[in-house]
Amino acid sequence: MNYGAMAGPNNFSLLIPNAIFYKLFSFLGLSNHVIQIIYLEAFLFASFIAISYFLKIFTSDKRIIFFGSLIYIFNFYFYQTISYSAKMSQIILIPLFFYWMYKYLETKKFKYAVYNFLGLFFLQNIFCNLPQLIVTFSIYPLAILYFFINYNFKIKKILSEYSRKIVFFFIILVPIFLLHGIMYYFSMIENYNVVKKYSSFSALASPLHLIFQFRGIWWEYQTYKEISYNHWLPFYDNKIVIMATFALLLFPFAVLFMRRTLKKKHIFWMTFFLLSVFLASGTAISKYFFLLIFEKVPFFYIFREPWAKFIPLVIFSFSTLTVMALEKIKNKRPVLIILLALLLIKSLPFFSFNFFDHNNSGWKKLLIKTPEYWSEYFRWSKKIKTNMF
């Protein structure tokens, strides 16, 4: 809610799991550099496990699950999430929230509600960004709706058999919501004028052709003193990379339409994919309609950067469509080899030592030297710390 302004109570959500993670491993004697590597590897591993479990809903073929998981991870959005904790948690929680809710309704086992509570507890830094939080929690109604469509339930049966179960699923989350609700309340009171000032920033449009490449963030083509913010821009703008990306994009739609095997579940995910594309592109598709939503729907102004908030849903739904299409193919091995080759072409940055920008030129040059008084203050505070309170 602070839009980059001074820290408010809601920013304390960042302490879990980040500070606990660093504190634990520093207690074990590891350096910050090693801890950071472990943290990023843990994020990558958790993301892969989360999407893999989710895709089990649609197939039992491990090859397809593996490829669908790579689709979810090897993209421009995933690359830039690493700079923001809430986005990192969102990547993990979106597939898990869907899986836990769906399996809870399918099996009626309470353990999935417990898993859901634990997942949100340990990744509650998702609460530090309200728009990310809302988008992540939109997965719950999506999972509920898909479950009822997939099993052809009547409304009467839904109300009689499942309404109380769904309510009970969320009751155990009440303590977490109360805690962060209080934080947001005081944050909005303390910083209301600052929030209004900073909310004037908006990046409401992302070109459709970039959305379909899972790109389109507002700073992607920005430069400062002739140095690009996005050091991978020449790579992603390469014609071969773009062609490989669009070939992957067209694959699930071509398979599902050409084989004429469209079912309600396919239509459901296609509809959700297109809706996500519309939201992520902002005013690029329909300026009038999106601005109408932006101005008339209460608090929708918090989604002032639609691409960053809604593109995770585009990637999530596309991974699902790809897996569903692969399930329809009989001779999967050659198709998977071709698709994997296309995916690796567009994912080369993930295998590069320059994945993070290590350039040391122009305004990116490191010119900061820690002043001596910092060291003096450190020694002084350490000396008197037992007498401070």
Domain range list for the chain: 9-387
Contact 12, 183 (CB under 8 A): yes
8-state DSSP, 193: H
Angle formed at CA 300 by CA 296 and CA 306, multiple of 5 degrees:
120
Q: What is the pLDDT of residue 5?
A: 45
In this predicted structure, what is the pLDDT of residue 335? 95
What does the pLDDT read at residue 13? 56
The pLDDT value recorded for residue 2 is 42
Locate 87 and state its tokens. 């986005």
Q: Extract long-range pairs of 79-82: CB within 8 Å, 24+ residues apart.
A: 79/232, 79/349, 79/350, 79/355, 80/217, 82/40, 82/43
Per-10-residue mean pLDDT, the chain, length 389: 46 65 89 87 95 96 97 94 86 98 94 95 86 94 94 80 89 88 67 54 88 93 85 94 96 86 89 96 88 83 89 97 94 95 96 84 71 83 69
User: What pLDDT score was predicted for residue 17?
Assistant: 67
The Cα–Cα gap between 1 and 166 comes to 29
Q: Is the Cα dihedral 350, 64, 145, 147 positive or negative?
A: negative
Give residue 354's pLDDT.
Answer: 87
pLDDT value for 6? 45
How many other β-carbons are positioned within 10 Å of the β-carbon of residue 69? 22
Write down the pLDDT at residue 368. Answer: 65
**pLDDT score of 3:** 43
- Position 388 scores a pLDDT of 52
